[in-house]
Structure 1
């Protein structure tokens, strides 16, 4: 796999409900008089977390894998499917901290749009990259990745 940059921004406050959920599981095992209730609670949390993160955002994960493999055109298709899914099921994206046990600062739609723009930039389609960065900024005005992408595109155009 290539050394493609992946940006992960964490919403640290989102870890609070996740820790509370883990401790709830620990407490359930305690009430069930399980001898190693902390271990069983923590392992249950990890298993549930792993399943949720791998079963629901499948297209997003495929897109990331393809991006790392430098298969940008294929990755774009996966990110578009992911955006479509999370547009249809917007509550999953909005409440991802609780439902998916995901502490990412950006939602899957926002990440997908940024990733599509990045992929278009990597295959040399600057116009499509710019279009997607602008779409990100229209929907998520404070997105620093899109702001930087637009500045980079403008800088390249000025130097041509």
Structure 2
């Protein structure tokens, strides 16, 4: 096992536009209250709102990432499954995450959860389950480049072992 677990963050740059609009609205509201410090208060309010949303709603996902980074893969799988279930149940939060969570992630939390579950299974030596989860990613997210790459790698390893 490696000492550092890889992390991939893909940003959907167009989602920055709603963030700027939200921040502008907050600054405008503060301008009505205190014009001299509107920018400072608006930026602080946006920062607090952003941090709160990202820490309160996807808490299972964050816990899974922490456990994954500390190489506690079995426990991480449990948290990623909880995250997947939550965002499957509340698909609108995930679909509109650029507003609901102020997240600029190009990948949905459901896709990230499934990819992380697959990765964790591969790290504990459960290649078949890993492959099953990567295939599930492709069923739900057919354009997932990470799942396609991982499956190609797993198939190449299987062919080499034969």
TM-based fold match above 0.5: yes
Give the equivalent residue in structure 1 for 2:109: 108
The 5 A counterparts of 1:51-130 are 51-130=52-131
TM-score by length of 1: 0.97
Q: Distance in 2 between matches of 1:24 and 1:96?
A: 18
Structure 1 residues not aligned, in runs of 5+? none
The one-character-per-residue Cα deviations of 1:66-103 (angstroms, maximum 9, x if unpaired) are 00000000000000000010111111001101111001
The 5 A counterparts of 1:1-160 are 2-160=3-161
Misfit runs of 4+, over 2 Å: none
Give the total of aligned pairs. Answer: 159
Structure 2 residues not aligned, in runs of 5+? none
TM-score by length of 2: 0.96
SS of 2:36's equivalent in the other structure is: coil
- Cα drift, residue 34 of structure 1: 4.0
Q: Distance in 1 between matches of 2:78 and 2:99?
A: 27
Q: Distance in 2 between matches of 1:141 and 1:88?
A: 20
Deviates more, 1:5-14 or 1:27-36: 27-36
